[in-house]
Amino acid sequence: MKRGTAVRSAVLGLSAVGLLGACGGQPEQTPANGDAVTTTAQRLVSPPPTLSGGFMNYLGTLPVGGAVASNTGTTAAYEGFKLTVAAHAQVALEVTHLGTGVGVDTGLFVYGPKDASGSYGARILFQDDDSGYGELSKIPLATFDKAGEYLVVVGWSNGLGKQYRLQASCVGGACVTNPTPAPASAPVTLAQFPLEPSLQALLDTGNAYREDMFSFLDRYDFAWPYSTPATLDAAAAAVLAKSEYKGYRTYPTPATYTYAAFEPQMYWQYRPLHPALLAAYGEPGENVQVKSYFRTFSTGPNGDNWRWLNVILFPVSRHVIVYEQTAHEI
């Protein structure tokens, strides 16, 4: 993930723009001449630069379950909105087709939470360029582990002087009102996100220790709007459905561990990851569980390989961590 520069809330010297409620302004209009709506390839919208020089207008509040609308003006720029959430809220963010002018090309960036000094920090938690309609931006799942105020920044590369509409929708977790129990065998749908940089550093240190041992670590989140937790079996099924893990599907006797009991299963050079993962993604008292699979194969004489796939479910935090541990004969 790209690292941004420090972003702070500020009202900078751009024109004031009114905020709209959940309806989010007027829909875009079809061209009067009846021509088909087309899009043209635009360059990627880069993350915001430093605050010096007044790069961004801080407009106000984006409510979960509502929308705001503004105007791109005539030059490339950025605008920011604060988003206040409870711990473990899961939100979808989108610059919507409805209410956004034809041809607008946007980027979305999320920072936070805001600290005591008023800073949202340097790291981009979530970002997207063109996952929405045409060249509009969409983040289908943003999981906020900590309660607080976050900054959602909309940027655009083409100042067309047209309206855009930014929407925040609750998709799971703490923002769901009156959640119901999960249906039987409710599936888990995974979305991949970058690791915390500190975890990647620990993994890299372990991987540098021996040439015949190497491990992989991936983070996935899943939207969960229910009052009862996802099951470890559902999380494991979602991981095994990925093509890169298909070699483990036929393993007949996967083992299940509590998180504490899982630590001895890790090669010792990777064990610093054990408390670090819990600190990064866990909650006090959370029933974190691990399901482990094994496979072995040979690539020829003196070419035996051993691999363990470990699916770690954080049911409260809505994270699934995949830790794959490998070794090979030398």
pLDDT digits (tens, 9 = 90+) for 299-313: 877 789 999 999 999
Q: How many domains does the chain have?
A: 2
3-class secondary-structure state, position 317: coil
Contact between 143 and 318 (Cβ < 8 Å): yes
Q: What is the pLDDT of residue 249?
A: 97
Of 135, 225, 120, 214, the closest CA to residue 171 belongs to 225
Give the domain-ending residue among 137, 171, 205. 171
Decide if pLDDT at 23 tops 60.
no
SS3 at position 268 = helix
**pLDDT at residue 211 greater than cutoff 80:** yes
Last residue within a domain, chosen from 138, 171, 204: 171
Range of the domain at 51: 1-171
Q: Establish if 95 belongs to a structural domain.
A: yes
Query: What average pLDDT does the chain have?
Result: 86
The whole-number average pLDDT for the span 120-147 is: 92
What's 14's domain CATH number? 2.60.120.380
For residue 184, being part of any structural domain is answered with no
Check whether residue 161 and residue 210 sit in a common domain.
Answer: no
Of 69-73, 239-243, 272-276, 299-303, the one with minimum mean pLDDT is 299-303
Assess whether pLDDT exceeds 80 at residue 5.
Answer: no
User: Which band of pLDDT confidence, cut at 50, 70 and 90, is reported for residue 41?
Assistant: low
Q: 6 is written with which tokens?
A: 């420090």
270/135 same-domain check:
no
Tokens of 46: 């880069």
- What digits encode the pLDDT tens for the residues 153-166? 999 888 788 999 99
Of 279, 305, 310, nearest to 217 by C-alpha is 310
* Euclidean distance between CA atoms 73 and 156, whole angstroms: 10
Indicate if 98 and 221 belong to the same structural domain.
Answer: no
Residue 185 lies in a domain: no
Q: pLDDT tens digits, residue range 169-210?
A: 999 999 999 999 999 989 999 999 999 999 999 999 999 999
Q: Are residues 10 and 133 in the same domain?
A: yes
What is the distance between the alpha carbons of residues 137 and 57, in angstroms, rounded to a whole number?
19
Same domain, 268 and 151: no
What is the DSSP pairing of strand 56-61 with strand 77-85?
Answer: parallel
Quick: pLDDT tens for 263-305.
Answer: 999 999 999 999 999 999 999 999 999 999 999 999 877 789 9
Asked if 300 and 244 sit in the same domain, the reply is: yes
Whole-prediction pTM:
0.83
Which element (helix H / strand E) includes 143?
Answer: strand 138-144
Question: Residue 238: pLDDT above 70?
Answer: yes
Q: How far apart are the C-alpha atoms of 118 and 108, rounded to whole Å?
A: 21
In this prediction, residue 55 carries a pLDDT of 58
